[in-house]
Amino acid sequence: MMNTQHAMVRWGLVLFVAVALASPGASAQVVKKKRAAPAQVVAPKAKAKPKAVKTRKAAAPREEPKRLVVLTVEGDRGGKVRGQLESALRRSKQVKVQSLKQYATLAKKDGLKGAALFTDAGLVAVAPRMKLDAAVTGTVGPSGLTVRVLDASGAVLGEKDVKLTRGKLSSAEAKSAVLAVVGSLSSAPRAFEPPASVTPSEPIQPAEPVAPPPVVAEAPPPKTPPPAPGEGGSIMIPRPEVPAPVAERPVESPKPLPPAERPAKVPEQTPEVVAIGPQPTDGPPPMDEDPESHTTTDPFLEVALDTGSGGTVGNEPVRPPLARLTLGGTTTWRKYCARPGVKSCDEFDRKSEDEQLGDRSDYESTVPYLGISAELELLPLARHASPLRGLGAVLGYRRGYASTNVTLFNDAGQSVTREVVATDSVLTAQAMYRYYFGLGSSQLLGYAGARAGLLTRSFDVDESADSPLSGTHRLYPAVGLEVSVPLIRQVRLEAAGQLFISPQPGHGFDDEGGALDLEVSDYGTSVSTFGWEAELGVAGELWGPFGYQVRFKVSRYKDTFSGPGTRTGWDNGGVAEDTYSSIHWGLTASY
């Protein structure tokens, strides 16, 4: 009996499940669940947020720093002060410093050459192409550095005097100069506006607004209805917990809302537009944005030209140093000859021995004699913007010590040779004028000039040696020309020549007992002299204000005597020829 009841209960349950599954409502509900299940899983992943659209709070626009170029600083030996000023402006990040090298390149493309590269015309021509708002220049003087700020038209916006410590800017003075430059630019209008920012002031609405994906709310599990009376007693079969779908239709792209129904703009969700690809700008792109791409360690790479006494860089002329001192030594060879009754020593030597009558003297340095030399060039007007800034003076002193043998021949052909100790002294005091010019696109100044003044040359023989050779003393005016052509900073070619005006012997500052008169009376009653000097050499800068100079110089005198002299055979005058060949070498210091 019990087995029969158990069998009836099992068959009753099977029948109940079959009826429940076969009912139309249950079939429709199962179909709905199967259709909605994919929408719940796929819909949130199918519509991801576009990466090109980000939301953040809009930042206030920042004003672009003004663009300027630092021109050359006049009187800045080696360009150190200009380099310090440019570096201080770059580090401040309050202005955008452009390359002077590119400035000069653009000016040359506009047909400007020489000093015109850095005049007002050059600045006006280059400023629009580099979008410059200003230029900075300056002058180094005895009192320090004068910083000058110019606008794009060349007008002066402001000036500032700062001190220099040992020819350099200290950190405090560099900051003071930067503040002066920035202060002068703050009150000046911007000459060239920077390109407009691509960030709009108002958020840009996309043509097809993208709506956020629908949020699928997790529905609570449905409650199982109680079984109807008579349909299986108290036994219940739980259904699987499947959340009910929110929408029965497939997900579609939302249509744009009309303007009246769009939600109000929220500042915190202002979209940021990300520009992709090249953007159009007004004018050419800015040049040389890398502040370190055009730095250089060579201060003479920057251009500072002068085409003469009136040449300028910006508004200021390029000027030579105020003073230059040369200290060094000399190496000299002397050759002297005196012959009676002829016009030259060669004429006498070509005669036969029977015709070579009278006293004659020969002196020739078998070895060169050494000495010391000093020369000082002064240009007191070099710091003034005047055509006379090349006017100056030169003072020089040389002294050499000679020891050699001298041979004297008499009428009988007998010779006497004695050792002679002598001193060779030269004094120079001349006025000069130099016309300065620049070569190429580098800060290399050459010059061509003239000089005129007094020279003295004394060859004193030791009287205690009882030498047959008499000394010579000359005091005379001289005029000459000179030229210096720079090749590079370390090498420049120099040449000079002078013409001596009547450099007769027997003239000097000291004439005790009429000793100088004997230099003429021994050979005749009167004398006429012709003399000249030529030199060629190289010079250059080694380090800072210090340099070198090496020159080869030849000085020649020819004395033609007339009338009877006191020496044997000098009844009708004769000739004496005196030639000095020397090498001058030394170090230079400029200020």
Give the pLDDT confidence score for residue 515 in this predicted structure. 67
Domain-located, residue 108 = yes
Q: Over the stretch 398-456, which tens digit does the pLDDT of each residue have?
A: 999 887 666 666 655 566 666 777 889 999 999 999 998 877 545 678 999 999 999 99
* Sign of the alpha-carbon dihedral angle for 445, 448, 453, 456: positive
Measured distance CA(405)–CA(16) in Å, rounded: 153
CATH number, position 117: 3.40.50
What is the 3-class SS of 365-401, one letter each residue?
CCCCEEEEEEEEEECCCCCCCCHHHHEEEEEEEEEEE
What is the crossing angle of helices 171-186 and 80-92, to 10°? 60
Hey, what are 336's tokens? Answer: 């002297």
Hey, what are 48's tokens? Answer: 């991801």
Q: Over the stretch 283-336, which tens digit does the pLDDT of each residue have?
A: 444 444 444 434 443 333 333 333 333 344 433 445 688 999 999 999 999 999
Domain-located, residue 199 = no
Contacts of 197 (CB under 8 A, 6+ apart): 61
Contact 161, 173 (CB under 8 A): no
Greater confidence (517 vs 61) lies with 517
Measured distance CA(358)–CA(337) in Å, rounded: 13
Helix, strand, or coil (residue 262): coil
Hey, what are 296's tokens? Answer: 């250089």
- In a 13 Å sphere around the CA of 221, the CA atoms on its Cβ side amount to 8
Domain-located, residue 39 = no
Q: What are residue 185's phi and psi, to 5 degrees?
A: -80, -25
Greater confidence (236 vs 90) lies with 90
Question: What percentage of the chain carries pLDDT values higher than 70?
Answer: 62
Instruction: Of 147, 55, 135, give the one whose Cα is nearest residue 99.
Output: 135
Instruction: Of 247, 250, 265, give the one whose Cα is nearest residue 209.
Output: 265
What type of residue sits at position 40?
Answer: Q
Domain final position from 124, 153, 188? 188
- Judged against a pLDDT cut of 90, whether residue 122 lies above it is answered with no
Hey, what are 359's tokens? Answer: 């006293």
Measured distance CA(91)–CA(65) in Å, rounded: 13
What type of residue sits at position 215?
Answer: V
Q: What are residue 311's phi and psi, to 5 degrees?
A: -65, 150
Range of the domain at 531: 319-590
Confidence band for 235, pLDDT divided at 50, 70 and 90: very low
Q: Over the stretch 523-543, which tens digit does the pLDDT of each residue have?
A: 999 999 999 999 999 999 999
Measured distance CA(339)–CA(523) in Å, rounded: 9
Domain final position from 188, 208, 227? 188
Contacts of 355 (CB under 8 A, 6+ apart): none
Contact 430, 397 (CB under 8 A): no
Mean pLDDT of 128-144: 85
What are the C-alpha distances in Å from 496 to residues 118, 331, 537? 32, 19, 9
Work out the number of other CB atoms within 10 angstroms of the CB of residue 362.
17
527 and 387 within one domain: yes
Helix, strand, or coil (residue 111): coil
Mean pLDDT of 460-474: 70
Work out the number of other CB atoms within 10 angstroms of the CB of residue 283.
12
What letter would DSSP give residue 270?
P
Please calculate the CA angle 309-114-68 and round it to the nearest 5 degrees: 105
Domain-located, residue 298 = no
Domain-located, residue 436 = yes
184 and 325 within one domain: no
Question: What percentage of the chain carries pLDDT values higher than 90?
Answer: 27
- 66-74/134-141 β-pairing: parallel
What type of residue sits at position 567?
Answer: R
Helix, strand, or coil (residue 70): strand
What type of residue sits at position 92?
Answer: S
- 472-488/445-461 β-pairing: antiparallel
Domain-located, residue 228 = no
Domain-located, residue 425 = yes
Hey, what are 172's tokens? Answer: 């405090």
Please calculate the CA angle 208-214-216 and round it to the nearest 5 degrees: 170
Contacts of 430 (CB under 8 A, 6+ apart): 393, 394, 451, 452, 453, 454, 455, 478
Q: Over the stretch 143-188, which tens digit does the pLDDT of each residue have?
A: 888 998 888 888 888 888 888 887 888 888 888 889 888 888 887 7
Domain final position from 155, 188, 221? 188
Measured distance CA(523)–CA(341) in Å, rounded: 10
Number of domains in the chain: 2
Mean pLDDT of 198-219: 50
Measured distance CA(151)–CA(88) in Å, rounded: 20
Contact 271, 55 (CB under 8 A): yes
How far is residue 581 CA from its own chain's centroid? 41
CATH number, position 490: 2.40.128.100
**What DSSP line would sit under 339-373, residue for residue?**
EETSSSHHHHHTS-TTT--S-EEEEE-SS-EEEEE
Instruction: Of 210, 510, 568, 125, give the one whose Cα is nearest residue 359.
Output: 568
Domain-located, residue 490 = yes
Strands (E), 63-123: 66-74, 95-98
